Structure 1
């Protein structure tokens, strides 16, 4: 299968017709709610969503991040989240082509697929997965899909962007949560949130053909979303490298930090902990199958999964030697493992465009 430097998507719209989180690059008040909904109370509100034990790194102080947020065009909830998602069996998902990107997740015998062509219009799906309330989130501008636990509240699209990345908000406390950072920052609707990080879970960015072969009993997010949208038309671009956002090197909103080390929309597999960040170029990982690096000061190991066209990052403090053997990975004792099941500490890993990863994590280690 031919490798690619930039993510390819199915769609048929020109850049001039961009919709969703794309809009005028202004810092106007179109995303602000009426004054009566703004909080002037300096007392932190109770945390309404489950949060992690440790906080993930931020590129600057939370207040400075708030200052860098800008309007994406549509107002608060102008991009409507899907709050009552419907699903169909794989056999009934005739609106997806084999090569269409989907975001897959499996937990406790439950498998679901969220088509990229639907998420491009909504960015957030408030769902339930094996008894846990979750939010599946996607930012087309940064090429990132993230899953979060949401407790008893739901997430919505704030209408603001930070580092060209979706800024979510939770509807219980109206705290801002930049998607990739997965960490609260102040905003006009909650000036004093607890600066905590969300509990994340992994979604696999793959194709419908690959996911269905891997999880034949999967359920698929339906186009019956409750909103009138043409889900066969991606508002952000097409395969043509001279048309559309995904394939061009241009940005609609500036990153927090510029890096010319790689083309802006090169896809990396990124991982971060409170101790630092690391990224592996996805094409390089697909070619080499196993790569080593350092996350903070800790040795890290990245492995490629050819079945799903994805990668996993592990901490490898003892620097044990692992080698690719066909579709599996062989450990130092000769035992074979699936790429996603090594006996090491797995670190949450996700696809991202290089400009966005470098913007949030300018001191990241990167290997390719």
Structure 2
């Protein structure tokens, strides 16, 4: 069987990287990295912890993005050198190594190319994700915790900082809900395709008769707001409740009423935060979440398309967007794109890039179809 046309394949990779470079605007990225570096070096940076966390998180994420691109660019150049030397010397082993590297590079460049498809109004923002257990009792609560671990593992693999704002534990096991932020450029555009209802089928570890159980969890993704966003919430429209933070099994993890719950009276939107030590910090974080969710509602009303920012997250039969099947066979399948893998454990360990990339491409095609 003939091997790949290395010359044509490498030229295609270089052309794709050139297109990606224009979209990413690496010069602007380097300028922002330099400016953030100066802020990080300031001796008073940590006087404002919230700002310090934002600055250091943004710097880390941008550096990671730049290293990702430059690393791929270097690997493509190295591949060209490897192929040239191998062909000159008739080295079959080196050519086989080059073919393997070509496959890995093609996959990595395609993954980076997906970034160029993120052109929505808020796609470049950081993301706020809320996971809620749905139908399925304790299995659903356990599934919600599995999804939280999946997304945090994914973020860790990409070196994206994660900030957990609130975790509401179920009585027996797992989570009723959790809200967290992923601090990275384009985190919202990337993760917004994860919004919707996720369905798990497995032999329940909580059923002493070993029966198969179907459970659901809802994932909601909204963009983090910036100060320039026009979301004004009058004080009289927000009810503030304070309570003690709680951990697994309902145990109290704080001796003071530091946890905060905010209710936006006109819309009934409720958010809470209990992961900071002080009531003021929790209130500030809860307000960030509330504004983000109200922005999602505002934009949804303007466009009459709720799914555009929030996803269909009713968490029950008939509306799931992805199935995770552990029994009677092993499969994770996205019902919108048809993308599937036969190793659920790798997915729960954070290997979800394939699903995200397929979702972004699917969404772009759907937008094109709608435009026509």
In which range does the TM-score fall when normalised by the shorter chain?
A: under 0.3
Using structure 2 for the length normalisation, give the TM-score.
Answer: 0.22
Using structure 1 for the length normalisation, give the TM-score.
Answer: 0.22
With CA pairs under 8 Å and 6+ residues apart, which has the higher RCO, 1 or 2? 1
Structure with greater helix percent: 2
Structure with greater strand percent: 1
